[in-house]
Structure formats: C-alpha cells, structure tokens
C-alpha cells in the first residue's frame, strides 16, 4: 500500500492510538541506580560534574537505595572510594570496606532490591589503573588474583551480582572460579563485556578521583572503532560464566547493544554513563534542553536498541516521571 491509500499518520492521531501501537516501553523496573560510597557518616556531597548525584557515606547510601526501591527500581550498583589508595588497591577487598558495609546494610534495609557491586581497582589504586602495574603496564594475571579476592569479599557481604568492570582478560572466569570455590554459587556475574575506552567516563572519574595518573586505559578497554570485537568479548565472557553482559557507554554505542542483543541469549545491560547524564544536566541548566523529556527519550532509546536493563544516574528522576 502506498500514499494516499495508506496514511501512517492515522495511528498517531491520539495518545490512545499511539499507545496501542507503541513497540517499546520503559519502566522503573528497568533501572539500576549507581551509588558512590565514601567513608564517614552523614555525608552527602554533590558531585560538581554530575548535578543531582552524590558521594554518600554508608548510612546515606542506604537511604538512597531505599528510595530507589520505593520508586520501583530493580537494583543499585555500588562503587567505593577508600580511606587510602595504594599501589594495588588493597582496601577494595577489605571486609570492612565501604562497599562491603553498604552491601550488608542495603540488603537488610531493602531485601528485595538487587545489589550489584562494581569489581574494579581504579578507585582504589593510587595510579588510577584497573589493576596491578608492572613496569607501568597493567599486569593482567596478577590483577586477576586480587579480583578473585574482591569478588569473594563482596559475596561474603551478601551481594547479588558481582560486576567486574576492568576489561582484563579472564576476569569473568576468575570471579566465577573464586566464588564457586568459596561456596558462593548463587552469586551472579554481570560482566562489563563490551566496555569501550571512552571519554564519556570523565564525570565518573571526578566523582571517584579515579582518572589514570599516567597513560590511558586503551590497552584494556575497547577501541571505540570496533564492533565485531564486542561479539568476541561477549562470547569469551559467556564461556567463562557471565550471567549478564553489558555494553558501555550507552547511547553512542546503541549499534553495539543491538548487535550484542542479536547474538546472545543472555540478558543485556546498557550503561548510560556519567558523561551522557552530565550532558543532559548541563544543557538543561542553560535552558537549552528539557532534562525530563530528554532523559526519558534516552532511556527509551536504550531499550529500543535491545537493552534489558539500564544502569543510569537518572534512575530516580525517570522513575518519578514515569509514576506521573
């Protein structure tokens, strides 16, 4: 059929009609809310490059997590800032670390909320790289040993999902093996499978003071030019025991989300990263964009691209908007 017999506008004439033919929906249950946990108590320090997001002490992080749960979000993902950074990031796997404490308290306060914890070292090392360095280069296999310790300490605290984000070779297998050895067979692995060496992580690195002090992360994070390589990474992580695979960043990599969605039977997560959030906030502050509408449209686009869940700093805002 052709125009004028067929008129595409007929089904757009009213909200009721549009709703009937709507192909994609976004809901609060699609969202995972990231939280940045710092030492201390009563701390809620706004992150300058991420308006509306905070560095929270454990007590405040628990409140934010409860808020996310009440709004219908499915989970939170925790990142920690240690008291002291060192060369290997040893505070990361301390059972008394801020993330481990937050896991325990959030699981108690909001038992139904899924709690994921980012398993990486860049927030914990004094050089800002995602593992141990050997002569200035990331030592892959030595870093895996520490990652195994980290995964187990999260599991002991009661985490639902360990989320290794360092893009080291073998990182999913190292997590699975160590978790199983310690009897944590029920803890899932959310693999940051296709994580690109992106400039969109800038505000996140401000929040955690985690920018690499020298060099960059291009020897482990993926080249933004590559798509087929994302499938190889996904296949590797699947074979090592990943329960989820993630594509990151989100919108600029919507093609990768679709590609991964079409090639794996695992659930696919998208991370709408700090830079994507900051852009919306900054433009809205100038009155150049409508934050609410642009946020919902961004999240809808990630779903349409094929994401099953979305990690987003806009989780609470979007959940409130969807509630109306």
- Which spans of this chain sit near ligand PBG (rule: CB under 6 A)? 118, 120, 122, 130, 165-166, 201, 204-205, 273-274
Minimum separation from the CB atom of position 21 to ligand PBG (A): 34
CB atoms within 10 A of CB 114: 19
CB atoms within 10 A of CB 43: 16
Q: Are strands 50-57 and 44-47 parallel, antiparallel or unpaired?
A: antiparallel
Question: What is the residue whose two structure tokens read 């109306």?
Answer: 324
60 is catalytic: no
Question: What is the residue whose two structure tokens read 């695992």?
Answer: 266
Minimum separation from the CB atom of position 4 to ligand PBG (A): 48
Residue partners of 161: CB distance under 8 A and separation at least 6: 75, 114, 115, 116, 117, 187, 188, 189, 190, 243, 244
Closest C-alpha among 118, 97, 102, 115 to residue 160? 115
- Residue whose CB is less far from ligand PBG, 204 or 291: 204
Determine the Cα–Cα distance for residues 200 and 174; give it in Å rounded to an integer: 28
Minimum separation from the CB atom of position 69 to ligand PBG (A): 21
Minimum separation from the CB atom of position 20 to ligand PBG (A): 36
- Residue whose CB is less far from ligand PBG, 25 or 217: 217
- Residue whose CB is less far from ligand PBG, 153 or 221: 221
- Residue whose CB is less far from ligand PBG, 120 or 280: 120
- Residue whose CB is less far from ligand PBG, 34 or 173: 34
- Of 60, 107, 248, 303, catalytic: 248
The dihedral through the CA atoms of 282, 287, 292, 294 has a sign that is negative
- Of 195, 217, 218, 303, catalytic: 195
Minimum separation from the CB atom of position 158 to ligand PBG (A): 21
| Half-sphere exposure for 220 (CA within 13 Å, toward CB) | 26
Strand partners, 114: 75
Minimum separation from the CB atom of position 210 to ligand PBG (A): 6
Question: What is the residue whose two structure tokens read 């009609």?
Answer: 17
Q: Which two tokens stand for residue 112?
A: 């139904």
Closest C-alpha among 240, 243, 229 to residue 194? 229
Minimum separation from the CB atom of position 297 to ligand PBG (A): 19
248 is catalytic: yes
Question: What is the residue whose two structure tokens read 């150049």?
Answer: 288
Contact 247, 256 (CB under 8 A): yes
Q: Which two tokens stand for residue 23?
A: 């192909």
Reduced DSSP (H G I as helix, E B as strand, rest coil) percent helix, strand, coil of the chain, to 5: 45, 20, 35
Annotated catalytic sites, by residue? 195, 248
């Amino acid at each position: 059929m052709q125009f004028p017999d067929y008129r595409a506008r007929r089904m757009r004439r009213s909200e009721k009609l549009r709703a009937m033919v709507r192909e994609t929906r976004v809901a609060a249950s699609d969202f995972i809310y990231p939280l940045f946990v710092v030492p201390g108590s009563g701390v809620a320090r706004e992150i300058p490059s991420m308006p509306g997001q905070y560095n929270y002490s454990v007590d405040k992080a628990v409140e934010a997590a409860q808020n996310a749960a009440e709004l219908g979000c499915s989970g939170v993902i925790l990142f920690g800032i240690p008291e002291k950074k060192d060369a290997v990031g040893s505070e990361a796997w301390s059972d008394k670390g801020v993330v481990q404490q937050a896991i325990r308290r959030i699981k108690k306060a909001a038992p139904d909320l899924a709690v994921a914890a980012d398993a990486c070292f860049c927030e914990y090392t004094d050089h800002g790289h995602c593992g141990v360095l050997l002569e200035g280069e990331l030592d892959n296999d030595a870093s895996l040993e520490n990652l195994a310790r980290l995964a187990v300490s999260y599991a002991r605290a009661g985490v639902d999902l360990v989320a290794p984000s360092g893009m080291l070779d073998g990182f999913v297998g190292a997590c699975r093996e160590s978790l199983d050895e310690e009897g944590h067979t029920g803890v899932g692995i959310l693999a940051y499978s296709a994580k690109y060496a992106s400039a969109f992580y800038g505000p996140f690195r401000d929040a955690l003071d985690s920018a690499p002090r020298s060099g960059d992360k291009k020897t482990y994070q993926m080249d933004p030019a590559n798509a087929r390589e994302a499938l190889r990474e996904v296949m590797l992580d699947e074979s090592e025991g990943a329960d989820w695979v993630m594509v990151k960043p989100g919108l600029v990599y919507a093609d990768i989300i679709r590609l991964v969605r079409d090639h794996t039977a695992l659930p696919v997560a998208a991370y709408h990263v700090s830079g994507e959030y900051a852009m919306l906030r900054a433009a809205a502050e100038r009155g150049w964009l409508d934050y609410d509408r642009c946020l919902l449209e961004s999240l809808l686009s990630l779903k349409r691209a094929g994401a099953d869940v979305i990690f987003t700093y806009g989780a609470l805002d979007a959940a409130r908007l969807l509630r109306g």
